[in-house]
Amino acid sequence: MKRSLAILLTLMLVVGLFAGCTPKQQTTTEGGNTPAETKPVEKRVMRIGIGLNEDHPQFKGLEKFKEELNKKVDTIDVQLFANSALGDDRAMMEGLQLGTQEGTCPSTAPIGNFVEEFKVFDFPYLFPDEASADKVLDGEIGQELLDSLSAKGMKGLVYWENGFRNLTNRQVEVRKPEDMKGLKVRTMENPIHLAAFRAFGANPTPMAFGELFTALQQKTVDGQENPIATIYYNKFYEVQGYTTLTKHLYSPFVFMISQKFWDESTPEEQEAIMEAAKIARDHERQLNREANETLSKELEANGMKVIELTPEEQQAFQTKAQAIYGEFAQGKIAEYLDRVQKELAK
């Protein structure tokens, strides 16, 4: 259903392109009642898509972005699309490159397929808490990585938060890596995540987020991993019995627009976009942290068992994960990993 909608939208966009309706010319006008001498404001359309739904803090952040941007400039018409309506994270980034959409906010994990250095954020148990993540992401290292996206046709604006990821599954009360033996776990499309789950003893399989709920429902996979907010707002409790608070990975989002849209913006628009993106970031992070703090109870109220790990139990997962660092910490990724670790030790 979602997929056919995505195909339909893609077709419409392609037809639009052939009809000579390129994104630059794809403008809307406002002010039909303006006096003849006043030129109506020509608006450029900024279509922003995400995989999560309208209830998630990420969507609330986008609404905030839209509101703030509208306060500052009246030349950009922000249109928001939730639920993978424009495609999954990878397809939407390709859409930015192709010019078929203007904005998205993917997890960093699939970005590593475009700019390798982003994989530095895929090492499990790298960040001990949100404050440490903010320090690195909002600092020099984070900025360098955002800048590296420009060469790929994407303008990285700022980092938002997906959050610490936790394991859910249908049938097993997981407390230690051994409990995951043979468990079919969906991960994002990222080699380090796959290796980590193999190291835990699971049987991981990569899949786009838009297909996940159905896959869990149809038992194609037994489990998945995501922050509490996503587990709750996507109603995974309807198809999953257990959440284990593994907190195995801090997952950032990158709020990005197409480099083309950015380059075609005036300096005033660029400043407004950047400011609105930052205000929205702070709003999104705050809502997301509240959600991740408070929604465990709601998962339980909806029939899930939420398993908190002792520090020793968590250490067992961390030790397994540590074993894969060497294999993936190579070349530029190793350099970034080293810098991140030094920054965290300061």
Interface residues with ligand TK8 (CB under 6 A) are 50-52, 89, 106-107, 162, 188, 209, 226, 230, 251
Where does the chain have alpha helices with state H?
A: 2-18, 57-72, 89-98, 130-137, 140-148, 191-200, 212-217, 228-233, 259-263, 267-301, 311-322, 325-328, 331-345
Position of tokens 């397929």? Answer: 113
- The span from the CA of 255 to the CA of 273, in Å, is 11
Give the nearer residue to ligand TK8 in terms of CB position, either 162 or 314. 162
- Identity of the residue, 190 or 314, whose beta carbon is nearer to ligand TK8 in the bound complex: 190
CB of 250 to ligand TK8, least distance (A): 12
**Which of 211/343 has CB closer to ligand TK8?**
211
Q: Phi, psi at residue 129, to the nearest 5°?
A: -160, 175
Nearer to ligand TK8, 89 or 222 (CB): 89
Q: Which residue is nearest to ligand TK8 (CB)?
A: 51
CB of 119 to ligand TK8, least distance (A): 16
Reduce the DSSP state of residue 190 to 3 states and report it.
coil
Question: Is residue 206 left, alpha or beta, with left meaning phi > 0 and alpha meaning psi from -120 to 50?
Answer: beta
Min separation Cβ 109 and ligand TK8, Å: 7
Considering the complex, state which of residue 89 and residue 117 has its C-beta at the smaller distance from ligand TK8.
Answer: 89
Q: Cβ 230 to ligand TK8, closest distance in Å?
A: 5
Least distance in angstroms from the C-beta of 106 to ligand TK8: 5
* DSSP output for 316-335: HHHHHHHTTHHHH--HHHHH
Q: Between 65 and 209, whose beta carbon lies closer to ligand TK8?
A: 209
Q: CB of residue 207 vs ligand TK8: minimum separation in angstroms?
A: 8
Residue number, 236 or 336, with CB nearest to ligand TK8: 236
Q: How many CB atoms lie within 10 A of CB 12?
A: 11
Q: Count other Cβ atoms within 10 Å, centred on residue 297.
A: 11
Instruction: Provide the minimum distance between the beta carbon of 162 and ligand TK8 in the complex, in angstroms, as a whole number.
Output: 5
SS3 100: coil
On the CB side of 161, how many CA atoms lie within 13 Å of its CA? 32
What is the b/e burial string over 320-337, where b = at least 16 CB atoms within 10 angstroms of the residue's CB? bbeebbeebbeeebeebb
264's tokens: 């075609």
CB of 256 to ligand TK8, least distance (A): 12
| Closer residue to ligand TK8, CB minimum distance, 73 or 146 | 146
Nearest to 171, CA basis, from 159, 189, 185: 185
Query: Is 308 in contact with 245 (CB distance < 8 Å)?
Result: yes
Nearest to 96 by CA among 260, 264, 258: 258
User: Sign (positive/negative) of CA torsion 52, 56, 57, 62?
Assistant: positive
- Nearer CB in complex with ligand TK8: 226/265: 226
Quote the least distance from Cβ 58 to ligand TK8, whole Å.
7
